[in-house]
Amino acid sequence: MQFVRMYTGLDSRSHFEDLPLPSHAPGETSPLSLPQFKAAILRRGIKSVDRWQNAPLRQYVITLAGRIEIETSDGEKRVFGPGDILLTEDVQGEGHRVRVIGEEERVALSLHLA
């Protein structure tokens, strides 16, 4: 399994990076170190499109329902659906924009990192 990191590069543009989730044997628990975090449920309506923006803070965003397309300022686009994990770290720079695709609202769990 893997997750996607979205970050600001030295060029001030947002980029995607694929990273592996820590692996472990079946039946074992893989520790996820999240000292002091807050959680929130994010909802976006059908066909909603955002302006260019930065992530408000470092956070893991896990899509629970619906699908979105994120375009980073370097021009790359990726689609995220249920079960996908995104680490947002592009809190500076040119940012990204989000578009809900399909006929279902997008619901996600956000884990805010300290």
Tens of pLDDT, residues 34-89: 556 688 999 999 999 999 999 999 999 999 999 999 999 999 999 999 999 999 99
For the chain, give every domain's residue range: 2-20+38-112
**pLDDT attached to residue 12:** 97
Task: List, for residues 22-38, the tens digit of each pLDDT value.
Answer: 777 777 766 665 556 68
Residue (of 68, 52, 60) closest to 13 by Cα position: 52
Fold adopted by 2-20+38-112: Jelly Rolls (2.60.120)
Q: What is the pLDDT of residue 28?
A: 72
Three-class DSSP category at 55: coil
Class of residue 49 by CB neighbours under 10 A (exposed 0-12, middle 13-18, buried 19+): exposed
